[in-house]
Structure 1
Amino acid sequence: MATLSDRAFQATFLVYLIALVLSLFYYVRAQAIIARTRRRTEERELVTVGAGSDAPISDVAPGTEGAEGAVPGDDALARQRASARKWGGATQSVIWLGIILHVVAVVTRGFAVGRFPLGNLYEYMLMITAATMVVATVVVQARGSRVVWPWLLTPMLVLMFFAGTKLYAEAAPVVPALQSYWLPIHVTSVSVGASIGLVSGVFSILFLLRVWQPVGEEHGFLAPVVRPLPSAEKLDRIAYRLAVYTLPILGIGIILGAIWAEAAWGRFWGWDPKETFSFITWILYAAYLHARATVGWKVGAAWINIVAMGTMIFNLFFINMVVSGLHSYAGLN
């Protein structure tokens, strides 16, 4: 079962890598479609102004323009859009296959060790990347934002590569301190909250990028990169709604960890480095939600959300692997 888990993890990485390539093709097609659509719109406006109100504007009946201003009368544009939809559908199908393999890797690892696979950093990374991909897929499909997949898949592949090469640990029993029914309860809640927070942070980064390069006003060498992104309002709305779930789930995880600490160490809170940074992360998410609800603070709030995500990643790697504390057993040993 341990070997099957390892093979499933490797296959998952390969499938996600293929999905990244497909998503980049879709991204490029979307960029070309938007650029062509804008040129068509400008041409129609010039014809309207130059010919006067009595001249025909185009071969399209009023009100029949497609999404994003596309003109169905343009056969080449229609073919581009059909091709792009195929690339987007292929990307999503491959990602679902990767998620299935990812879940298989998690489940078989659990069977191999005879417990919930959350006893070391490799297993935690295996769980958190799987949860992140599930959250991202639900958000992308619900919001119709397949174009953001390259921005989501790239950090996931980096995390999985690091987990498989630097954090990998053979299937084995955990240290006595982790042999508790609190392990799946506490760590699962934290990993789910962290997964939602990671996706929220990525959307806040894209929001700031879109604020810098508004729709229709892209400029500079990054213009082709930013052009396919959704509007700033949509990106900000997704980031905010995800953070609304992140705050209570992380809070529950911290509370459950305190209860476990009392049972294991005889105290609820001891300002251990990991406890401290977990609390700081939770405070930052609370600050983000408060700032986001304040008029005129959307950009500043997005920065807070990104700092919260950075603090969470710092807590995951630096605190676990470098700083000495009561949670040091969660490292590479």
Structure 2
Amino acid sequence: MIIAAATNESLAQISNVLIYSSMAVYTLAFFAHIAEWLFGSRSKVARTAAALTADAAAGPEPVVEVQPGASTGSTGTAVLQRPKIVTRSTSGTRDVPDGPGAHGGDAQGDLYGRIAVSLTALAFLIEAAGVVTRALSVQRAPWGNMYEFSITFSTVAVGTYLALLIAKKNVRWVGLPLVTTVLLDLGLAVTVLYTASDQLVPALQSYWLWIHVSTAIFCGAVFYLGAVGTLLYLFRDSYESKLANGGKPGALATSIMERLPSAASLDKFAYRVNAAVFPLWTFTIIAGAIWAGDAWGRYWGWDPKEVWSFITWVAYACYLHARATAGWKGRKAAYLALLAFGCWLFNYYGVNIFVSGKHSYAGV
């Protein structure tokens, strides 16, 4: 049996101050990211246009295909068949280089980018301290209601982004949309979703709270990064298609799109992160079912949260299957990925706020 501890109001207040402080630093990081995009050099743009022009000038790639086997002449001597020449067009693959990043490859833009990443890391540490202090104030996991889930979710999302940077992955382009989303998430958390630090209802007083909800938070953070990559892929793919068809995008669109990775790289990034975390999302649903069996005496009861968790699982399964199917690669699969992330968002916000069920103890 888990005995509820008393709430430490002083630690709870410190947690609130730390969360507000992290928002202030995230705001500075937001402006630094804006400066990185605005003041980065534009002298290295249009590499995609040059690559596509070169591909078009080269024309279709001839491929020699030798038919298997050989015919036998009247003399009994084997006569090789004449090789069959097939022209294979390279159009549609758009094998273009990645952009140099948000800063555009120059020293000034890179300076603003380093400042932005440093401020993001500082804000992450402050927010993480706020999450830990919140947990210490009640001696339990810091995700017992929507407010706590939100601050933990944004912390994990930023932590995952920073971990990818430390691993030398080309993901600095995620910084601006990430910080913007985190500020919106924290703003919603401290205004609409805020719940005073308190103990949990009996159904949540279980070690499964640490297992089930923590994996759900991590999955959501990674799904979010995949959604950002997918959305930017759609923009970049449209840009490359316009160039391939002889169009001329505007100067601002060119400046932004040329700093992003190629459409193929963005598509690969989104697929890899979604595919990597999908097994963990499967485990999250299974862990929730086991917890439901312990708390409510049944493993599955078609509760709205259970239903939408499964719908989200099906949506991502369809996306992963689509990426492996030739006719559904590219934009069609990307739309499925965004639909799947939309299901995850509704599972969190929509179900918790607008739908009544056994999970209606989120504190709103």
TM-score, structure 1 normalization: 0.83
Question: CA offsets, 1:67-105, max 9 Å, x none?
Answer: 969xxxxxxxxx981111111111111111111111101
Question: Partner of 2:297 in structure 1?
Answer: 266
Structure with greater helix share of residues: 1
Deviation at 1:30, TM superposition (A): 3.3
Contact 1:215–1:227 (CA<8 Å) still a contact in 2? no
Describe the SS at the equivalent of 1:174.
coil
Q: Distance in 1 between matches of 2:212 and 2:363?
A: 17
CA 122–210 in structure 1, closer or farther in 2 if over 3 Å, else same: same
Question: Partner of 1:186 in structure 2?
Answer: 212
Q: 128-137 or 289-298, which moves further after superposition? A: 289-298
Describe the SS at the equivalent of 1:326.
coil
CA 284–80 in structure 1, closer or farther in 2 if over 3 Å, else same: closer
- Structure 1 residue 318 corresponds to structure 2 residue 350: yes
Q: What do you get for the CA RMSD once the two structures are aligned?
A: 2.3
Q: How many residues align?
A: 297
Larger relative contact order (Cα-Cα within 8 Å, sequence gap ≥ 6): 2
Q: Is there any run of 5+ residues in structure 2 with no aligned partner, and where? A: 1-10, 55-97
Contact 2:99–2:261 (CA<8 Å) still a contact in 1? no
Deviation at 1:19, TM superposition (A): 0.8
Question: Partner of 1:149 in structure 2?
Answer: 175
Deviation at 1:179, TM superposition (A): 1.1
TM-score, structure 2 normalization: 0.76
Sequence identity (%): 35
Q: Distance in 2 between matches of 1:33 and 1:120?
A: 49
Question: Partner of 2:288 in structure 1?
Answer: 257
Question: Partner of 1:219 in structure 2?
Answer: 249
Q: Distance in 1 between matches of 2:180 and 2:213?
A: 25
Residue of 252, 264, 272 corresponding to 1:241: 272
Question: Partner of 2:142 in structure 1?
Answer: 117
What code does the residue aligned with 1:157 have? L
Contact 1:129–1:159 (CA<8 Å) still a contact in 2? yes
Give every structure 1 segment of 4 or more consecutive aligned residues whose post-TM-superposition deviation is greater than 6 Å. none
Residue of 10, 32, 46 corresponding to 1:22: 32
- Structure 1 residue 209 corresponds to structure 2 residue 235: yes
Q: Distance in 2 between matches of 1:266 and 1:80?
A: 59
Q: Distance in 1 between matches of 2:341 and 2:40?
A: 29
Describe the SS at the equivalent of 1:213.
helix
Deviation at 1:228, TM superposition (A): 2.3
Question: Partner of 2:121 in structure 1?
Answer: 96
Q: 113-122 or 138-147, which moves further after superposition? A: 138-147
CA 219–31 in structure 1, closer or farther in 2 if over 3 Å, else same: farther
Deviation at 1:204, TM superposition (A): 0.2
What code does the residue aligned with 1:309 have? F
Deviation at 1:130, TM superposition (A): 0.7
Q: Distance in 1 between matches of 2:347 and 2:363?
A: 12
Q: Distance in 1 between matches of 2:318 and 2:165?
A: 26
Report the structure number with the largest CA radius of gyration: 2
